[in-house]
Amino acid sequence: TLADGTLTLARFTGQVYGGTAELSGRLVARGTPNARFELKAQNVNLGQAIDTGNRIQLVGGRAQANLAVETTG
């Protein structure tokens, strides 16, 4: 949604590399600009995510990750 100079992404979900991902966040463009985003990924296939294109598989297995980024200015 967009209201009063603030863009809010309540929840965006999808499939990625055999797992799931969820993104949410907020971007404020009035006053001192600031942003905060959160990404949660579950059951991601690392072999697919880090595909080198070669016949050698460098990484394998499944992973989960939580990432939060916040910035001001």
* pLDDT digits 0-9 by tens, 27-67: 999 999 999 999 999 999 988 887 767 776 667 889 999 99
Radius of gyration of the chain (CA): 16
Nearest Cα to 17, choosing from 65, 55, 56, 68? 65
Position 66 scores a pLDDT of 98
Can you give the pLDDT at residue 37?
A: 97
Whole-number pLDDT of residue 42? 97
How deeply is 22 buried, as exposed, middle or buried, from its count of CB atoms within 10 A (0-12, 13-18, 19+)? Answer: middle
pTM here is 0.75
